[in-house]
Amino acid sequence: MSTTAFVSPDDIRTLFAQAMSSMYRTEVPLYGTLVDLVAEINDAVLTDNPALADQLDRNDERARLAQERHGAIRVGTAAELATLGRLFAVMGMHPVGYYDLSVAGVPVHSTAFRPRTAAALAHNPFRVFTSLLRLELIEDPALREQAAQILARRHIFTDECLHLIAQAERDGGLEETEARRFVLAALETFRWHSDATVSLDTYHALSKAHRLIADVVSFRGPHINHLTPRTLDIDAAQAGMLARGIDAKAVVEGPPPRKCPILLRQTSFKALEEEVNFPEDGRSDVGTHTARFGEIEQRGLALTPKGRALYDQLLNQARDAGGAGSTGGDYTTRLANAFAAFPDDHDTLRREGLGYYRYALTEAGRADKAAVGYLPAEALIAAGLATADPIVYEDFLPVSAAGIFQSNLGGEEQRAYAAHANREAFEQALGLKVEDEFGIYQRLQDESLAALRG
């Protein structure tokens, strides 16, 4: 059998992202409203700002914009996480970054499964923020044991899905028919189930330990809890949400509005209160559960370790100054004041080594290779022979993620766990190392520099 018959993992990922999007549109119609709103705003931004449109075109980002999403799920056991890792690998998604959310009172640690190469990212950057519940953080030993037993009994993957993962691993890929079957089978794992697998009493006990524990343990599978389109203007999108009467989160997470967007800004609408049946009770008990919400994001420049350290320092400064994290009334002002110290033009950001850039020859540079020679990149830019465009941040931010988790857990859930980050335990559960995101951005930048002389 020739390998050319295999569908590329990039195409499988696109099929899967589309299937997830249409499933979630049916499950949570407000998500469809957000996708439409974001598309409208992106069109308007690109019409008003031809320079940005050109920049996106130059970097193969224009086409991916309309289909760009991230999603999030939460799983309960090492075995579930490890199989998810194998499932995502079939679609060219690999674990990047380790996020410890326990410091923010959320009993999980997480990674993002995502594509890593320039070509794969340009094809479709679909990513899934994936959290593993840390059962050891349940204080009551009896409840901890009960939760572990419930989780050990469930099967979150269909037999067909497991079979096709194994086939892809064995043969090195999937052909067209199998790829389509795989996408449909994989989708089942992420579907919402309105029947809980536990009694209402157990649900309440788990919920009392932490709402998130109930969300992970009480259902047949790790329902996708949001899918997030990427907007080019999150302030306009936030205003649009409010204008449509959508119950948006009060504060946009991440950096303040800037001329040169950095990292990631996010806002969400509150999780829906959904009816859940508890058939286990033998009665038709009905309760409610809040799990699924909507989120939008604006992505900006990926920062170097130096830039990231400055970001973390300024964010802490803004949050500490009010003593109330991001909930204090004048938070927006404090944030803007703190970030006045972060350069906001690309020349400075680049020259100070705060962000990663993709270099390319201009038409003049391509026409005059002799002039390009071995001039340093900055000299090429000064001479109009090369451009440097921001490399987009493809990852997540732990403080923002904690804010998103919190706003969907009823708000008041603030308890700090004494636990520490435990990347080794996470990697052991996953059965893989999680890749460091800085290395990936550095590689993208280096490849573009090498291509100048190519």
135-140 CB contacts, 8 Å cutoff, 24+ apart? 135/76, 136/419, 137/102, 137/107, 137/210, 137/417, 137/419, 138/107, 138/209, 138/210, 138/213, 139/209, 140/209
Compare residues 228 and 445 and give the one whose CB is closer to Ni ion: 228
Per-residue binding string, ligand OOG, 216-255, x by CB under 6 A, is ---------x------------------------------
CA angle 24, 30, 32 (to 5 degrees): 60
List of E strands, 115-166: 127-133
| Measured distance CA(222)–CA(129) in Å, rounded | 12
Least distance CB 55 / ligand OOG (angstroms): 24
Q: Contact region for ligand OOG (CB under 6 A) — 78-86, 301-309, 347-355, 399-407?
A: 399-407
Q: Which of 59, 83, 111, 131 binds ligand OOG (CB under 6 A)?
A: 131
**How, if at all, do strands 127-133 and 174-175 pair?**
unpaired
Least distance CB 371 / ligand OOG (angstroms): 45
| Measured distance CA(306)–CA(349) in Å, rounded | 11
| Measured distance CA(51)–CA(46) in Å, rounded | 8
3-class secondary-structure state, position 8: coil
120 binds ligand OOG (CB under 6 A): no
292 binds ligand OOG (CB under 6 A): no
From the list Ni ion, ligand OOG, none, which binds 400 (C-beta under 5 to 8 Å, kind-based)? ligand OOG
| CA–centroid distance for 446 within its chain | 25
Least distance CB 295 / ligand OOG (angstroms): 6
| Measured distance CA(286)–CA(51) in Å, rounded | 54
400 binds ligand OOG (CB under 6 A): yes
Q: Which of 266, 267, 298, 304 binds ligand OOG (CB under 6 A)?
A: 266
405-424: which residues touch Ni ion (CB under 5 A)?
none
Q: Contact region for Ni ion (CB under 5 A) — 2-10, 148-156, 222-230, 435-443?
A: 222-230
Least distance CB 70 / Ni ion (angstroms): 6
Compare residues 102 and 266 and give the one whose CB is closer to ligand OOG: 266
| Measured distance CA(285)–CA(276) in Å, rounded | 8
Q: Which of 64, 74, 123, 319 binds ligand OOG (CB under 6 A)?
A: 74
Least distance CB 73 / ligand OOG (angstroms): 7
Q: Contact region for ligand OOG (CB under 6 A) — 161-169, 312-320, 324-332, 395-403?
A: 395-403
Q: With contact defined as beta carbons under 8 Å apart, do 107 and 156 qualify? A: no
Q: Which of 219, 311, 342, 396 binds ligand OOG (CB under 6 A)?
A: 396
Which residue number is nearest to ligand OOG in terms of Cβ? 401
CA angle 87, 228, 289 (to 5 degrees): 85
129 binds ligand OOG (CB under 6 A): yes
Q: Contact region for ligand OOG (CB under 6 A) — 27-35, 163-171, 357-365, 394-402?
A: 394-402
Q: Which of 311, 405, 417, 441 binds ligand OOG (CB under 6 A)?
A: 405
| Measured distance CA(87)–CA(430) in Å, rounded | 12
Ramachandran angles phi, psi of 444, nearest 5°: -60, -40
Identify which of 252, 200, 277, 188 has the alpha carbon closest to the alpha carbon of residue 224.
188
Binding site for ligand OOG (CB under 6 A): 72, 74, 129, 131, 225, 266, 295, 396, 400-401, 404-405
Q: Residue numbers of the site for Ni ion (CB under 5 A)?
A: 228, 295
